[in-house]
Amino acid sequence: MSLTVTDLSCARGGVPVLEGVSFTLEPGQALELRGPNGSGKTTLLRTLAGLQSALDGGIEAPDGAIAYAGHADGLKATLSVAENLRFWAAIYGGGAIDAALAAFDLRGLEERPAGNLSAGQKRRLGLARLLVTGRAIWMLDEPVVSLDTASVALFAAALKTHLAGGGSAVIATHVDLDIGAGTLDVSAFRAAPAQGGAFDEAFL
């Protein structure tokens, strides 16, 4: 379940943002994406997750190995914590949600509507979704935003368990998670400004 990226270029809104990104991620490894705001971390993650197509270059990953977690948690405010999590578990063909609830300290909140959770609790529920997907390669976009210190530690522990079990992760973050991850500074791959006006995005 290794992820190989070769000479990848990606664009946001029709404008090339990154070019020449290459790395290999083996099972058990994590990669932290660093770079200032607007440097293309989210664009890279969305491209890797398959939400947008790459301009150029290749992404080699086994089918159905990647789980994506973006800025938004994908929670339904009128469904309870357990209903939200059970839904994603069913979508990914998994079953039990108990381990995921325990890993992110959500026990006791199962019957609470997700809309009544605090920002940090919502984020923890969003991250618990990753555990029920059962997928090996996690694409995480700013996973620890709005988490307190204890919750960051919970997340780091869950991530370590995931890595120890042969999983891997690409994480865009500004917080040092202390999980022994390699770092990749995306600002080194900034794309040259586009030449000419070949902008057909709106018509595709």
Partner 1 sequence: MIALLLRDIRLAVRAGGGFGLALAFFLIVTTLVPFGVGPQNATLALIAPGILWLGALLACLLSLDRIFATDFEDGSLDLLATAPIPLEGVVAIKALAHWLTTGLPLTLVAPFLGVLLNLPGPGYYWITLTLAFGTPALSMIGAFGAALTVGLKRGGLLMSILVLPLYVPTLIFGAETVRRGTEGLATGTPLALLGGITLGAVALLPFAAAAALRVNLR
Shortest Cβ 46–partner 1 spacing (Å): 8
Residues 115/46/36/148 CA torsion (nearest 10 deg): 30
Closest residue by Cα to residue 112 from 88, 79, 75:
79
CA–CA gap between residue 203 and residue 68 (Å, rounded): 27
Residue carrying structure tokens 């200032």: 36
- Give min distance, CB of 178 to partner 1, in A: 27
Cβ proximity to partner 1: between 49 and 103 the closer is 49
Tell me how far, at minimum, the Cβ of 24 lies from partner 1, in Å: 21
Residue closer to partner 1 by CB (options 67, 169) is 67
Nearest to 141 by CA among 6, 74, 7, 45: 45
Q: Which is nearer to partner 1, 28 or 134 (CB)?
A: 134
Tell the smallest beta-carbon distance from residue 45 to partner 1 (Å). Answer: 11
Nearest to 152 by CA among 112, 114, 92, 104: 104
Binding interface with partner 1 (CB under 8 A): 46, 49-53, 64, 66-79, 83, 86-88, 90-93, 129, 201, 204
Looking at the Cβ atoms of 58 and 95, the one nearer to partner 1 is 95
Helix axes 81-91, 119-133, angle to 10 degrees: 30
